[in-house]
Structure 1
Amino acid sequence: MVALEFLWLAFRHGRAVDAALMLLPAAFILLGLRAALTGAPWYWVAIPLTLAFPAHLADLVRRMRR
Structure 2
Amino acid sequence: MATDAAAAAHEPQPLQGSARLWGTVALSLATFMNVLDSSIANVSIPALAGALGVSPGQGTWV
TM-score, reference length from structure 2: 0.38
User: Max radius of gyration: which structure?
Assistant: 2
Looking at secondary structure, tell me which structure has more helix per residue: 1
If asked which structure has higher relative contact order (CA below 8 Å, sep 6+), I would say: 1
